[in-house]
Amino acid sequence: MNIMNGGMHAHWQGADFQEFMIAPYGAGSFQEALQWGAEVYRALLGLLEEKGLSVGVGDEGGFAPLVQSNEEPLALIVIAIEKAGLKPGADVGLAMDPASSEFFEAGRYRLRTEGREVEAPALVEYYQRLVAAYPLVLIEDGMAESDWAGWKQLNLALGDSIELVGDDIFCINPQIIARGIEEDIANAVLVKLNQIGTLTETLRATQLAQRQGWGAFVSHRSGETVDSFIADLTVALDTGHLKTGAPACGERVEKYNQLLRIEEDLGGAARYAGKGAYVRPVRF
């Protein structure tokens, strides 16, 4: 669940990183995970109000407060998890989508919120520090789509520890994914059905990644409808994880509702992926 927004999703108010997500992988079922996620979201709302921060939401329903750094949302979410009576890391992990192509300019990453520009090695070190300090299990688009050398550095630094998902760099294109596998720049691919354009190509790209031991992470788009097909796709492809926004907007909630229906229909045959959804073992 994307519960805090920054970057373009928040019109560059607050954090540079675009999405800060929670992963309630410690739950015993999807129904329980959904409940936990909603409780953390509500706890975060209360926390932001206590601190006098905005509770307006971005494109995907996450709050978009005027924070002072790209680390602050992670710290706030950890507090919210605890306020919801859950344990950070053990019950609920964190994930990020910096969408770094959006702040990559002339070979450097411009962190407006922090008033600095850095090259790829420094950004990789920043991610390493965040992974050491917070229960992060996944980073999507940690480097820009054109920065293949930066991706290689990131994967060397963190690829054995967490899931590193390529979205903009792969665009669910089998040919580009094959190059990424050959050059060993990531360990997972984001699955956006309408990005490649056909279900056939989506299946081919997802299966290519999975055959190589890579993760596959189904995703909504920023502009969404109430169509819930990607929930069915997530289960059909056995990807184990789906991101579809905060539990606040109808076009996001409908995907969660469909997963609830699927779990109910499956009955005793249903298995919530939990920590097993990630291509790298959860460290907590």
d(CA 69, CA 46): 20
238 touches 211 (CB < 8 A):
no
How would you class 132 by CB atoms within 10 Å of its CB: exposed for 0-12, middle for 13-18, buried for 19 or more? exposed
Cβ–Cβ < 8 Å for 122, 133 = no
The residues assigned a catalytic role are 60, 192
Task: Report the chain's terminal Cα–Cα distance, integer Å.
Answer: 19
- Sequence-distant (6+) residues with CB within 8 A of 155 are 164, 184, 185, 186, 187
On whether the CB atoms of residues 43 and 80 are closer than 8 A, the answer is yes
